[in-house]
Amino acid sequence: MSDIVVCCTDGSELSLRAIEAGLALVDRTRLRPLLVSIVPEPPVATPVGIAADALTLSTVPIEGMILAQADALDEAHRVVAVAAERFGVPEEDTRVELGEVTSYVTALLEQTGAALVVVGSRGLGAGARFVLGSVSDHLVRHAPCPVLVGGDEVPTTPDGPVVLCLDDSQRSVHAAASALGVLDPSLPVAVATVTRPAVQGLPDDGLAQLQENKRLMDADELLGRAAGELGRPEAEHILLDGADPAEALLELAGSRPVRVLVVGTHGRNLVTRAVLGSVADQLVRRSTSLVCVVPPAED
């Protein structure tokens, strides 16, 4: 892992707010932001019903494409320069490129060994949701490093604890440790888990209460062990009830200040992506707080 935090911007205030909120969380004594703006390559215009390989150069609006690309690149350079001044990033730590956005960013993360990538998602109308949302969705599924995502509801100066979302797997502890490795160590931390409440309708003979007490005790012990393993024994314990972990965590983020929700994924293949879609993907799309999605150390 390098000391680079890749910050993606398309010039929108949404992407800049996500970057500002994200940089407020990272340890900038050890990590440096790399501001990146990718100008998408426009498709070649072809007359309807004519194969592209059958066209002559005269049928393709090359001059218009070149002018549009030049204008877009000029605007991207301007946007990145303004953002660099806003976030205190030197010019040598900025990049403006022409290409396919998701492919370029994913390759950049691999090449640089980035510690984290920050991207905006949601808000600003359907167009912005489509563009930014598609990039964040792709990175959440394919990035080799943690992905920090923020929507337009996220404050630029987040408050509350870093909430490490845990289950009974060691992978969730590893994900939490990876996130703590890039975040400011002075930030307050909470460990959270979601468990199903005791079955309702049992005879009122004390058995139901015993089962409920055991459920809460087991969950609290799980959080205590994880907090100790993470070197944060002082972490607040948050026990959430619910059959749907995503809904329980979304309710938490909507009911109290949460600086960021940290959640791990269980892999990058098709089967485990179904699990991701039910938890991390829901948090990325709907949370009012920042969400940090951490890929597994090994698939």
Quick check: helix, strand or coil at residue 168?
Answer: coil
Residue in this structure with the two tokens 């829901």, named with its chain if needed? 282
In this structure, are 9 and 145 located in the same domain?
A: yes
Q: What angle do CA 158, 162, 165 make, to 5 degrees?
A: 130
Question: Of 150, 181, 199, which residue constitutes the final position of a domain?
Answer: 150
pLDDT for 205 equals 62
| pLDDT of 147 strictly over 50 | yes
Write the CATH number for 170: 3.40.50.620
Higher-scoring residue by pLDDT: 197, 143? 143
| pLDDT of 52 strictly over 70 | no
Domain of 259? 162-294
In this structure, are 12 and 120 located in the same domain?
A: yes
Between the alpha carbon of residue 50 and those of residues 42, 61, 63, the distances in Å are: 19, 15, 20
**CA–CA dist 123, 70 (Å, integer):** 28
Average pLDDT, the chain: 84
**Contact status, residue 289 vs residue 251, Cβ threshold 8 Å:** no
Question: Of 102, 118, 150, which residue constitutes the final position of a domain?
Answer: 150
Question: Of 97, 117, 150, which residue constitutes the final position of a domain?
Answer: 150
In this structure, are 146 and 168 located in the same domain?
A: no
